[in-house]
Amino acid sequence: MLMSVLKMGNKSEDELRAFGRQYEEDLSDIPADTLELAAKDLRKTAIFFPTIAEIRVAAWKHRLPRRIRISRMTELLKLPSEAKREPTEAERKLNLELINDCLERMGR
């Protein structure tokens, strides 16, 4: 679909491939399901083909809910014997990161 949309700009095949590779490279750190949600939002609201920055902004709002869902799923999958253990350093770090993300989104 990307190629058909961009052909309107009279781009060569090589230019289109380079364009696609740049988007792929610059968005590779965002999980696929989050990108899908961002793309769905942008299809409804964007007037022009979105820039990488616009896609990243649209994906950002889905990042925290995704992490919360993953955290909740992880908790549900724990064995009863694990439920009462102290969190690991990695879990503490993730929790702190989630809190910081939330505060950042609230502008604090």
Share of the chain above pLDDT 90, in %: 21
Whether residue 108 has pLDDT greater than 50? no
Whether residue 101 has pLDDT greater than 60? yes
Q: 41 or 95, which is more confident?
A: 41
99 lies in a domain?
yes
Residues 6 or more apart whose Cβ sits within 8 Å of residue 13: none
Structure tokens at 93: 């770090």
- Domain tally for the chain? 1
47 lies in a domain?
yes
User: What is the residue range of 58's domain?
Assistant: 31-105
Q: 12 or 5, which is more confident?
A: 12
Q: 101 or 83, which is more confident?
A: 101
2 lies in a domain?
no
61 lies in a domain?
yes
Q: Is the dihedral of CA 8, 12, 18, 21 positive or negative?
A: positive
68 lies in a domain?
yes
56 lies in a domain?
yes
Q: 14 or 92, which is more confident?
A: 14
